[in-house]
Amino acid sequence: MKRSVIIGSGAALPRNAVSNDELAKRVDTSDEWIRQRTGIEQRYIADADETTASLGEAAARKALADADVSIEDIDLIICATSTPDNTFPATAVNIQHRLGMTHGAAFDMQAVCSGFVFAVTTANTYIMSGQADRVLVIGAETFSRILDWEDRTTCVLFGDGAGAVVLEAQEGVGLSNDRGVLTSHLRSDGSHRDKLYVDGGPSTTATVGHLRMQGREVFKHAVAMITDVIEDAFAATGLSADDIDWFIPHQANRRIIDASAKKLNIAPEKVVITVSQHGNTSAASIPLAIDSARHDGRLKKGDLVLLEAMGGGFTWGSVLVRW
């Protein structure tokens, strides 16, 4: 049977890192408050010339080089983002053009912080059905552009960046020791849409709007939703927390990550944490974390990797993949 094997990754960050102390000069907050509540130490903030598409392009070029494939080999580009350069065309189409690709197709995926998990699942479906052999999946965001910099309860949490992976169709035997995506589980429930949202849009205010969040409500639901879809992944494959080599969660908040790992009995040393350095980069956080773990030598071929995310909507999902 066909499997979608991840054959390369790449990442790109804006040139400016902003520490908690620097942020405390413009917002009524402190390094201590942010670290204690979230684990965040710094985040990257895009300059005017750095956009979702430019960061996404940079990450994509590195992923293509890492996979040792050219843009000619790619059939489909999916860009997960909630902060597109323009309302339309899709940022994926912009990146497609920047990469010099005129064949195949490109589209955006909008599932907020769960976007990368939704995009990998979609790419896997294209590959499994034989409609694509190689898919470039990008998570790219410039959340700094939709933050209300007067609202200290949200603006300290987020950052900008991009990450990308290349998935390729390879033959597997259908067992859990195959390389590639083994199972994925997506969920959403729009009854929670007012707990984390942007208060503007083309069809309502004709403005971009700002991010609004009921932080405690998000926290309250996060761990239960995350652990639910991970238990689905274990049930579908017969694998367990003991089999996992690396847990690479969406990087929203250190406390959510620690509580989820604890509830699932995943050992702390198996958890990849980058929220301290990047803040919450929404759809970019998982591919940024993947790229860190690959390049510091932790993540190796054959490792079993559990990805999960939860975000606005609410949306949530898990992907179990053997590297």
How many residues of this chain interact with ligand ACO, rule: CB under 6 A? 23
- Closer to ligand ACO by CB, 74 or 307: give it: 307
**Helical pair 285-295 and 115-128, crossing angle rounded to 10 deg:** 80
Nearest-approach distance from CB 242 to ligand ACO, in angstroms: 26
Which of 37, 61, 98, 263 binds ligand ACO (CB under 6 A)? It is 37
Tokens for 165, please give them. 């992976």
Q: Does 230 bind ligand ACO (CB under 6 A)?
A: no
Q: Where are the alpha helices (DSSP H) in the chain?
A: 20-23, 31-38, 52-67, 91-98, 115-128, 152-155, 215-237, 254-263, 275-278, 285-295
- Closer to ligand ACO by CB, 18 or 69: give it: 18
- Which segment (167-175, 200-208, 209-217, 293-301) binds ligand ACO by CB under 6 A? 209-217
- Closer to ligand ACO by CB, 28 or 296: give it: 28
Catalytic residue among 79, 94, 113, 278: 113
DSSP string, 160-200: EEEEEEEEEEEE--SSTTSSEEEEEEEEE-GGGTTSEEES-
The DSSP element (H or E) to which 53 belongs, if any, is: helix 52-67
Tokens for 237, please give them. 């494959």
Residue 308 vs residues 19, 222, 262: alpha-carbon distances, Å: 27, 11, 15
Which of 16, 87, 153, 204 binds ligand ACO (CB under 6 A)? It is 153
How many residues comprise the chain? 323
- Determine phi and psi for 63, rounding to 5 degrees: -65, -40
Nearest-approach distance from CB 90 to ligand ACO, in angstroms: 22
Tokens for 306, please give them. 């559990």
Q: Helix, strand, or coil here: 289?
A: helix
User: Is 113 noted as a catalytic residue in this protein?
Assistant: yes
Q: Does 156 bind ligand ACO (CB under 6 A)?
A: yes
- Which segment (72-80, 84-92, 135-143, 153-161) binds ligand ACO by CB under 6 A? 153-161
Rg (CA), the chain: 18
Question: Considering only residues 251-280, where is the footprint of ligand ACO by CB under 6 A?
Answer: 252-253, 256, 280
User: Is 280 noted as a catalytic residue in this protein?
Assistant: yes
Nearest-approach distance from CB 31 to ligand ACO, in angstroms: 10
- Binding site residues, ligand ACO, CB under 6 A: 29, 33, 37-38, 113, 152-153, 156-157, 196, 213, 215-216, 218-219, 222, 250, 252-253, 256, 280, 310-311
The catalytic residue positions are 113, 250, 280
